[in-house]
Amino acid sequence: MSAPSEQLNLTIVPATIDDLPQLMALENACFSDPWPEAVMRTTFAVSVAKILLAKLDGEAVGFAMAYLIPPEGEIGDICVSPAHRGKGIGRALMNALIDGSNCTQFWLEVRASNLAAQRLYEKLGFEVLGVRKNYYERPREDALVMGLTLPEE
């Protein structure tokens, strides 16, 4: 499904607070229960948060964020604009979060019905660790907890 990202004019850069409107536009386009802007804004003040923006031909098309406290990292959010899915951008964002993080264990939550995201995580080596019942609202749904353990360098 995904074209290798190097075939695209794709850049992945650290997001700044000035990117907040673009992040919120993506968040609102991608989720039925988007993070409120106040929560997203707060994330920029969290020292362990890494927030990356994907730009295709200079246009913001996706972002991802993680809380990194080596050796553990929690993937907090990832989304790609509906118009630009299936091009390898989600995978590129995940790899950029993981690479250079100094973390060897990652975990995340994903809606039980969100097979696209689950396939992405599985492709990267994540496995289902457990279920959090009724974790999500709008609509109410279980979360799968997925984890990835990388070999120590």
Ligand X SMILES: CC(C)(COP(=O)(O)OP(=O)(O)OC[C@H]1O[C@@H](n2cnc3c(N)ncnc32)[C@H](O)[C@@H]1OP(=O)(O)O)[C@@H](O)C(=O)NCCC(=O)NCCS
The site for ligand X (CB under 6 A) is made up of: 1-2, 30-31, 78-80, 85-91, 110, 114-117, 119-120, 123
At its nearest, how many Å lie between ligand X and the CB of residue 152? 26
SS (H, E, C) 71-139: CEEEEEEEEECHHHCCCCHHHHHHHHHHCCCCCCEEEEEEECCCHHHHHHHHHCCCEEEEEEEEEECCC
CB of 33 to ligand X, least distance (A): 10
Instruction: Give catalytic status of residue 136 as yes or no.
Output: no
Nearer to ligand X, 57 or 152 (CB): 57
Catalytic residue of the set 37, 72, 74, 109? 109
Distance CA 48, CA 22 (A): 21
- Concerning whether 121 is annotated as a catalytic residue, the answer is yes
Q: So which residues are the catalytic ones?
A: 109, 121
